[in-house]
Structure 1
Amino acid sequence: GGEFGRTPFREGRTAASKILGRDHYPDCFTIFLAGGGIKHGLTYGETDELGFSVVRDKVHVHDLQATILHLLGFDHERLVFRFQSRDFRLTDVHGQVVKDLLA
């Protein structure tokens, strides 16, 4: 897993192009988590039939970061750094621990 997935379809840059690929796609991606306080055997969230849009239990990357930090024993809301006279949190202002993932 990472901060983005790949488009669920192949694409080429031109009709004549023989180079096909999958572009960056931040709206849906898969990540595998195991051990460390994560529920075992759990599939969380759901996409549409194309894997293009989240239709149930969306987890933002800030939520994933908050959950992992929680499992490591950190309070993500207290992890703050100052930049240009402003405080920033790693998990931004939106990150929440996804309690349904916790064992």
Structure 2
Amino acid sequence: MPRTSQHPKADTFNFRIDPDLKAAFTHATEAEDKPAAQVLRDFMRSYVERQQRKAFELEARRQSLAIARRSRNPSTDEHASLQELEALFDETAIDDDSAK
């Protein structure tokens, strides 16, 4: 008989677990009327997303620090861009002060 589910058949993931932890987990999922397997899949997705977010944040920090280092060198484009931005902010501050 063909599979009627919209989701393709998935791999299984077998692991050992302390019997007390399994009983407590099963009790907790039953109390919320959720299948234990679904809760585990949700946890796994959440964990993967957190790891991806952490990797993204680390890369963003690395790039920010690299740009900050380059911006301190007067011969770089980053330094020139920051000088232009500072000049624009100074102009904006002058315009704001004169409007008062």
Give the structure-1-normalised TM-score: 0.21
* Larger helix percent: 2
Answer 1 or 2: higher relative contact order, Cα 8 Å, separation at least 6.
1
Instruction: Select the structure of larger CA radius of gyration.
Output: 2
Q: Point out the structure with the larger strand share.
A: 1
